[in-house]
Amino acid sequence: MMPSTADLVRVLPEIVLTAFGLIVMVAEPFLPRGEKRMLGPLALVGTLAALGAAVAQAQNPGYAFSQLVIIDGFSSFLHFVLLAITALTIIASFRYLERENINHGEYYALLLFGTVGMGIMAAANELILVFLGLETSSIATYILIGFRRTEAKSSESAMKYFLLGSFATAFLLYGIALIFGGTGTTFLPDIAAALGAPGTNPALVLMGMGLLFVGLGFKVASAPFQVWTPDVYEGAPTPITAFLSAGPKAAAFAAFLRIFFTALEPTQETWFWVIWASALLTMFVGNLGALVQTNIKRMLAYSSIAHAGYILVAFAAGSELGIAAVLFYLVAYALMKLGAFTVVSHVSAGESHQEIDDYAGLHSRQPLLAACLTIFLLSLIGIPLTAGFLGKFYIFTAAVKANLIWLVVLGVVNSALSVAYYLRVVKVMYMNEPRADLEVAPVPASVAFVLTLTALGTLYLGIVPGPVLSAAARSVLPLP
Amino acid sequence: MKAYWLSLVVFFPALGALLILLLPAGAVERIRRVALVTSLVEFALTLPLYFWFNPASAGMQFLEARVWIPSPLILYQVGLDGLSLVLVLLTAFLTPLAVLASWPITKRVKEFFLMLLVLETGMLGVFVALDLFLFYVFWEVMLIPMYFLIGVWGHERRLYAAIKFVLFTMAGSLLMLVAIIWLYTATGTFDLLALYGLRQAHPALLAAGEERWLFLAFFLAFAIKVPLFPFHTWLPDAHVEAPTAGSVILAGVLLKMGAYGLLRYCLPLFPDAAKEFAPVISALALIGILYGALVSLVQPDVKKLIAFSSVSHMGFVVLGIMAMNVISTQGAIFLMLAHGVSTGALFAFAGMLYDRRHTHLISEFGGLGTPLPVFSAFFLVACLASLGLPLLANFVGEFMVLVGVFEAERSYAVLAAFGVVLAAVYLLWMYQRVTYGEVTNDANRRLTDLSRRELVIAAAFALIILGLGVGSPFLTSRTEATTKRILLQVESPHYELAQSPESGAPESAEDKR
């Protein structure tokens, strides 16, 4: 069967990204050494074109490819978020690749292919397609993490993520198989329908659900499947760390939400406590882990875990309000994490100087850079007038409405804990004497652009959250 | 113009901060002047509020309301009643003096005054916000400039004191955030005036258990800020380590926010729980009064002594609030002002000593009356005010509190009176050791007396201390109607509140499980 035009429009961003990824790959060998820097802007153009395609996609909601793909508000919202993350990552990588001398075209091509996988995850209406999207994005990130291949740490990270990630996807696949065995289908709405009907095997579905939880929990770095995060984040090239903490996490949450709220919605009472416990554990593991870190990348990695925990709180709320809160939070979180890692990527040139103490007196050398990092850190704490505060506020509001008072109280206890380690970085930057031996290069225009955009975005969402919030509220999954 | 006056008052210091941001960091003199002019103009801006204020009305005046965030509905709503009015005046009065007291600061001058002005906007916002969300925003945002003021420009143990201050305050206020959200889910609104109305219209708005928890969550945040014994441990560190301006603002304004919160939120919103917990809280306040005074007795350090005396004095404020009658509450509000100026003055004088000798240790001084006669005279005024000498500021407040508490619970008043006695002991003893006798330390012989700048600060404090002491009716008349309204809100469930037209009834009052 030939795909119809409507089918194609509904996957247009993926088509555009794939095309540009291929162009980058093909163009790379033909470019002389000095001209390779053209590949970055080319990939950026591709991402922006895909953003345009996402607009067309959003205007044509509906199913595509025999209901394998669903384009609704939810998937469109995530497409915009994911593509914006990729675009910012590409811009932040321009100078990084030159500086680290790893300026190869594959880097950008892999980013684009990874984004294709993430887009598929956000729009998949069927479990096998979720798996395909997850694999596409994972394989791209495995390579990107090890992109500084001469560095042992980078290779170690890639290996670790690859091995554990393969396990996780195996779990996921096994879970899919069991659910298929239990219900006779892999289409999400059909699973929900089958769960209510006679003839399903509840034990199989339950086991399948547990395995799906493991697989997806690994990808969003929720406890107890978070162990890989600090090591992988530390060893990966920093722009990729930024990407990893924002993009694949958002995509995995998208799939997580869609599977659990569409296909497994009838069993919500069963999985509610699992999510509840995982949210609590994730928050504590993340925040307590971050407290004792001295390496800023590892600290931010633990903070990523903690933030996955906050998102799970909204997940546990299990309402449309909760899903809207997750969507808003993903935007806020992407802005502050991309921003923070971009500062780190600039200061820690050559991936040395990753200790928090290396930021001593940064304020006196690069006041704007220090101010930007301060904004991101305050937002991560959740100080009002930043995106992070409103994100947390919406999450906690959704959770209180769902009567999860204790989870919320423990959540704010975690927020109070997190103040200690985020402010330590602020303290080091503003209150300690600068280190004489650490030179910080002037900020290149591309990095400045990313930082301006993310810092202003963080403040904008904190002061005028209305537009994004109402967009998120319009994009929630329809719950019965 | 009057319709926007309050917003102008709140955000004018932030405008000054913006201007400072645009100045080059090297233009130290210009930055100082901009900060001073901004804070003086700000003070001038608040004065018309006093005259325009209608003392007969118990409702909110100068009300401004507009939608900030449409869903969930969050208002930018500000307004003044008598309680807010006097605290706004106090804030605007103390800030220029804090700026003047900071003249000797040479390190990172630009950021210092920037933070100070941002802090002023935050403090004013706390006192005028009439939406719980908006209030929380100002309440939290204020922490950051204070953190920097202590952490960057403080004394030896500044880093420890700064993080301790933030952690304590955050711990309390985050639980308050949960309570705010809970209250919102129970009532469907963040609008404080609507909540007042709802509470009066439906005495059973909250289940008893619910009200108790909400009260405790709000109370904890405020008790830490006051600070009430045993939540006071951050205060000596923060006060001692903060730069002079920081101590003046901390003692003068920040501590008042806790008491303000009790009167603005805890009592009117959760009257039943407030009455239920009043004995416990009063007991804590009493312990604070006596404990603070006793600990002050043995302090070797001027600043620490003043800090612990604050614990004692703020105990009076809380005791007065919890006695819940007109005279005790009026006294508590007045004592907030009096303590703000007298303790602010004491910290300013301690700062002047520090500028000369770089120490706060009492044992380093002695006989300062000889080299510093003018200083010693003004310092005496502040000490006498703080110990509650009649005709000076604190006396009026303490006396009213004691009278009110005596009416409510005789034994409390008797015990609290010991706090006044002890205050005389520790303050006069400290004053004696610092200024009387022979100059024992050679380093003190050649000290120069007050400069013109310092004289301005000292005179301003002395004048206001005396002014408050003899002219108290000018302020108590402004707070009386508000006091009576708050007490009516606590006492009678069906008191008709002067409502604003903007704050309509929330949509889902019944949205309560």
Note the pLDDT tens digit of each residue in B206-215.
888 888 999 9
Q: Residue A358 contacts by C-beta under 8 Å, 6 or more apart in sequence?
A: A296, A347, A348, A435, A438
Residues of A in contact with B70 (CB under 8 A): 466, 470
Alpha-carbon dihedral sign for residues A244, A247, A253, A255: negative
Q: Do B185 and A415 touch (CB under 8 A)?
A: no
What is the C-alpha radius of gyration for chain B, rounded to an integer number of angstroms? 22
B387 vs A380: CA distance, rounded Å? 45
Residues of B in contact with A389 (CB under 8 A): 140
For residues B455 and B364, the answer to whether their CB atoms sit within 8 Å is no
B237 vs B254: CA distance, rounded Å? 15
Q: Report phi then psi at B447, rounded to 5.
A: -65, 145
Mean per-residue pLDDT, A172-191: 90
A254 vs A270: CA distance, rounded Å? 20
Which element (helix H / strand E) includes B99?
Answer: helix B82-101
Res B311 pLDDT > 50: yes
From B168, which residue of chain A is nearest by alpha-carbon distance?
A: A416
A134 vs A210: CA distance, rounded Å? 18
Q: Do B137 and A384 touch (CB under 8 A)?
A: yes
Res B261 pLDDT > 90: yes
Secondary structure letter of residue B498 according to DSSP:
-
Res B82 pLDDT > 80: yes
B32 vs B34: CA distance, rounded Å? 5
Mean of the per-residue pLDDT values of chain B: 88
Tokens of B146: 């204070």
Pick from A347, A129, A318, A320: nearest CA to A238: A347
Q: Name every residue in B having a CB less than 8 A away from some CB of A.
A: 69-72, 136-137, 140-141, 143-144, 147-148, 151-152, 158-159, 162-163, 166-167, 170-171, 174-175, 177-178, 181-182, 184-185, 513
From B213, which residue of chain A is nearest by alpha-carbon distance?
A: A405
Mean per-residue pLDDT, B285-289: 93
What Cα–Cα distance (Å) separates residue B366 from each residue in B36, B349, B360, B425? 33, 15, 12, 17
Across the interface, of B148, B171, B175, the residue whose CB is closest to A430 is B148
Residues of A in contact with B69 (CB under 8 A): 465-466, 469
For residues A265 and A378, the answer to whether their CB atoms sit within 8 Å is no
Q: Residue A106 contacts by C-beta under 8 Å, 6 or more apart in sequence?
A: A25, A28, A143
B39 vs B100: CA distance, rounded Å? 10
Write down the residue that tokens 């798996």 correspond to: A131
Bigger pLDDT: B356 or B261? B261
Q: What pLDDT is recorded for position B438? A: 83
DSSP strand E in B58-128: where? 61-69, 74-80
pLDDT digits (tens, 9 = 90+) for B6-56: 999 999 999 999 999 998 888 889 999 999 999 999 999 999 999 998 888
Secondary structure letter of residue B270 according to DSSP:
S
CB A224: neighbour CB atoms within 10 A?
13
Q: How far is B64 from chain A (nearest CA, A)?
A: 18
Q: Do B181 and A400 touch (CB under 8 A)?
A: yes
Residue in B143, B157, B174 to test binding to A, most A beta-carbons within 10 Å: B174
Counting beta carbons within 10 angstroms of the beta carbon of residue A476, is it exposed (0 to 12), middle (13 to 18) or buried (19 or more)? Answer: buried
Please tell me whether the peptide bond between B55 and the residue prior to it is cis, using omega within 30 degrees of 0.
no
What Cα–Cα distance (Å) separates residue B79 from each residue in A24, A163, B72, B130, B180? 60, 61, 21, 7, 20
Q: How far is A167 from chain B (nearest CA, A)?
A: 39
Buried b (16+ CB within 10 A) or exposed e, B225-264: bbbbbebbebbbbbbbbbbbbbbbbbbbbbbbbbbbbbbb
Tokens of B103: 């003249």
DSSP, collapsed to helix, strand or coil, labels residue B60 as coil
Pick from B166, B165, B274: nearest CA to B219: B274
Pick from B343, B282, B266, B276: nearest CA to B316: B282
Q: How far is A457 from chain B (nearest CA, A)?
A: 17
Residues of A in contact with B171 (CB under 8 A): 416
ipTM score: 0.91
B174 vs B453: CA distance, rounded Å? 41
Confidence tier at B369 by pLDDT (50, 70, 90)? confident
Write down the residue that tokens 């400039």 correspond to: B145
pLDDT digits (tens, 9 = 90+) for B336-352: 999 999 999 999 999 99
For residues B126 and B138, the answer to whether their CB atoms sit within 8 Å is yes
Mean per-residue pLDDT, A154-177: 92
Chain B interface includes A433 (CB < 8 A): no
Residue in A320, A408, A417, A418 to test binding to B, most B beta-carbons within 10 Å: A408
B267 vs A120: CA distance, rounded Å? 54
pLDDT digits (tens, 9 = 90+) for B89-102: 999 999 999 999 99
Chain B interface includes A401 (CB < 8 A): yes
Q: How far is A140 from chain B (nearest CA, A)?
A: 39
Across the interface, of B72, B140, B184, the residue whose CB is closest to A383 is B140
**Amino acid making up residue B478:** R
Counting beta carbons within 10 angstroms of the beta carbon of residue B103, is it exposed (0 to 12), middle (13 to 18) or buried (19 or more)? Answer: middle
Q: Residue B23 contacts by C-beta under 8 Å, 6 or more apart in sequence?
A: B30, B31, B34, B110
Taking every pair of Cα atoms in chain A, the longest distance, rounded to a whole number of angstroms, is 73
Tokens of A475: 């994009």
Pick from B176, B150, B145, B178: nearest CA to B164: B150
Q: How far is A32 from chain B (nearest CA, A)?
A: 46
DSSP characters over B310-321: HHHHHHHHHHHH
DSSP strand E in A223-263: where? none
Of A95-104, A186-195, A299-308, least confident by mean pLDDT is A95-104
B36 vs B292: CA distance, rounded Å? 34
Q: Do A423 and B163 touch (CB under 8 A)?
A: yes
**Amino acid making up residue A60:** N
Q: Do A409 and B185 touch (CB under 8 A)?
A: no
Percent of chain A residues topping a pLDDT of 70 = 99
Of A197-201, B109-113, B390-394, B465-469, least confident by mean pLDDT is A197-201
Residues of A in contact with B177 (CB under 8 A): 393, 396, 412
B390 vs B387: CA distance, rounded Å? 10
Res B508 pLDDT > 50: no
Q: Do B141 and A393 touch (CB under 8 A)?
A: no
Confidence tier at A1 by pLDDT (50, 70, 90)? low
Tokens of A445: 């225009």
Please tell me whether the peptide bond between A224 and the residue prior to it is cis, using omega within 30 degrees of 0.
yes
For residues A329 and A391, the answer to whether their CB atoms sit within 8 Å is yes
Res A54 pLDDT > 70: yes
Secondary structure letter of residue B442 according to DSSP:
G
Of A31-35, A189-193, B66-70, B384-388, least confident by mean pLDDT is A31-35
Residue in B140, B150, B170 to test binding to A, most A beta-carbons within 10 Å: B170
Please name every residue paired with B75 in a beta bridge, in sequence order, or none if there are none. B67
Q: Do B70 and A466 touch (CB under 8 A)?
A: yes
DSSP, collapsed to helix, strand or coil, labels residue B66 as strand
Q: What angle do CA B128, B153, B149 make, to 5 degrees?
A: 15
Residues of B in contact with A401 (CB under 8 A): 185
Residues of A in contact with B144 (CB under 8 A): 378, 383
Residue in B68, B111, B139, B177 to test binding to A, most A beta-carbons within 10 Å: B177
From A471, which residue of chain B is nearest by alpha-carbon distance?
A: B71
Measured in residues, chain A has a length of 480
Instruction: Give the distance, in angstroms, between the CA of residue A246 and the centroid of all CA atoms in the same chain.
Output: 3
Buried b (16+ CB within 10 A) or exposed e, B334-372: bbbbbbbbbbbbbbbbbbbbbebbeebebebbbbbbbbb
A109 vs A84: CA distance, rounded Å? 16
pLDDT digits (tens, 9 = 90+) for A2-15: 788 888 889 999 99
CB B276: neighbour CB atoms within 10 A?
14
Q: What pLDDT is recorded for position B492? A: 63
Chain B interface includes A62 (CB < 8 A): no
Residue in A319, A427, A429 to test binding to B, most B beta-carbons within 10 Å: A427
Q: Do A466 and B166 touch (CB under 8 A)?
A: no
Across the interface, of B70, B159, B178, the residue whose CB is closest to A409 is B178
Residues of A in contact with B160 (CB under 8 A): none
Q: Do B177 and A393 touch (CB under 8 A)?
A: yes
Res B388 pLDDT > 90: no
Chain B interface includes A378 (CB < 8 A): yes
Measured in residues, chain B has a length of 513
B406 vs A453: CA distance, rounded Å? 61
Q: What pLDDT is recorded for position B499? A: 43
DSSP, collapsed to helix, strand or coil, labels residue A69 as strand
Across the interface, of A397, A403, A416, the residue whose CB is closest to B181 is A397
Of A193-197, B117-121, B160-164, B177-181, least confident by mean pLDDT is A193-197
pLDDT digits (tens, 9 = 90+) for B181-203: 999 998 889 999 898 888 888 87
Res A33 pLDDT > 60: yes
Across the interface, of B141, B163, B178, the residue whose CB is closest to A384 is B141
Percent of chain B residues topping a pLDDT of 90 = 48
Q: What pLDDT is recorded for position B1? A: 67
Alpha helices in A259-295, H assignment, sequence order: 268-291
B17 vs B34: CA distance, rounded Å? 9
Please name every residue paired with B61 in a beta bridge, in sequence order, or none if there are none. B80
DSSP, collapsed to helix, strand or coil, labels residue B332 as helix
Pick from A47, A133, A149: nearest CA to A90: A47
Write down the residue that tokens 């958002």 correspond to: A250
Res A425 pLDDT > 60: yes
Chain B interface includes A472 (CB < 8 A): no
For residues A376 and A454, the answer to whether their CB atoms sit within 8 Å is yes
Pick from B443, B432, B450: nearest CA to B352: B450
Q: Do A469 and B152 touch (CB under 8 A)?
A: no
Chain B interface includes A27 (CB < 8 A): no
